[in-house]
Amino acid sequence: MPLRDHFRPPVSKKASWEGFHGMWPANIVQQLRNQLPPGYVAEPRIHLGTLMEIDVGALESDDLPRAGVAHDHGDAVATAWTASTPVVAVETDPPDEYEYEVRVFDLERERTLVAAIELVSPANKDRPESRQAFVAKCAALLRKGVAVSLVDLVTTRRFNLYAQLMEFIGHPDRSMSSEEPPIYAASCRWVTKGTRALLEAWSHTLVVGQPLPTLPLWLREDLVLALDLEPSYEQACRDLWIT
């Protein structure tokens, strides 16, 4: 069945993209249940909003020094230091980390994360800082030996985060620019072969009206599964009455 445009009518009038992005990871997990070898498990993960929260009140205590106040500790007197005027002071919000993903773990290595399937959301492509945060996250996973797959169905924002990821790690994919095509599916991994460290990547341009591709899902250097996106995608559409 063909890929739909979940961000424009008629599909957007039948089901929200948020509902579809929430449903698809669970369907991918159900599909992987029949494919993963013993010792591996997959889990969906959805997180909306800022990942890092700091409770400032928890840091305040009557026992802590106050700025501008001297405190006598025996023979020494400690005085709080006053910082100079900052060179950058702008009103802004921290980038929101919207995550729709599937994570695959190796149980025999104490639930070591071995693969991540990232479904790109509009928030990931919205602001420069959001795009940078998403790319940095994927790059960090790759450096830890985690195979990363990206699937981007967002037709309303023309930024290619896979292309930006490859540029970020210093190996651009010449087949894709940072802005076009806006929708794509790709897999990449860092692997050691003998004395060589190799970055391997597979990428596909997505087209509304065409079937979804099959991506390699690497669990180990020598163990790969076929991640056929079409069955789980179609099941998610059926579950949400998307025709």
Instruction: Quick: pLDDT tens for 37-47.
Output: 999 999 999 88
pLDDT score of 53 more than 50: no
Q: Is residue 217 part of a domain?
A: yes
The whole-number pLDDT of residue 49 equals: 60
Ramachandran bin of 39, using left for φ above 0, alpha for ψ from -120 to 50, beta for the remaining angles: left
Domain count, the chain: 1
The whole-number pLDDT of residue 81 equals: 74
Distance, CA of 203 to CA of 18 (rounded, Å): 25
Six-digit token pair at 33? 């249940």
The SS3 call for residue 99 is strand
Average the pLDDT over each of 71-75, 136-140, 233-237 and give the range with the smallest value.
71-75
pLDDT score of 88 more than 70: no
pLDDT score of 74 more than 60: no
The whole-number pLDDT of residue 62 equals: 46
Ramachandran bin of 163, using left for φ above 0, alpha for ψ from -120 to 50, beta for the remaining angles: alpha
Give the start-end residues of each E strand in the chain.
40-47, 70-73, 76-79, 99-106, 112-120, 147-152, 184-193, 196-205, 214-220, 223-228
In the chain, pLDDT over 90 holds for what percent of residues?
67
Q: Is residue 56 part of a domain?
A: no
- CB 196: neighbour CB atoms within 10 A? 7
Interval 61-67 mean pLDDT? 45
Distance, CA of 152 to CA of 182 (rounded, Å): 8
Distance, CA of 117 to CA of 45 (rounded, Å): 10
Interval 156-175 mean pLDDT? 91
Average the pLDDT over each of 24-28, 52-56, 144-148, 187-191 and give the range with the smallest value.
52-56
Q: Please provide the average confidence, as pLDDT, over all residues in the chain.
A: 85
Q: Is residue 15 part of a domain?
A: yes
pLDDT score of 20 more than 60: yes
Q: Is residue 65 part of a domain?
A: no
Q: Is residue 134 part of a domain?
A: yes
Interval 99-124 mean pLDDT? 96
Interval 113-124 mean pLDDT? 96
In the chain, pLDDT over 70 holds for what percent of residues?
82
Q: Is residue 63 part of a domain?
A: no
Of residues 46 and 74, more confidence is placed in: 46
The whole-number pLDDT of residue 177 equals: 76
Average the pLDDT over each of 5-14, 43-52, 96-105, 193-202 and give the range with the smallest value.
43-52
- Residue 171's domain comprises 11-48+93-239
Distance, CA of 83 to CA of 66 (rounded, Å): 14
Query: Measured between alpha carbons, how far is residue 171 from residues 1, 131, 166, 200, 239 in Å?
Result: 34, 18, 5, 10, 39
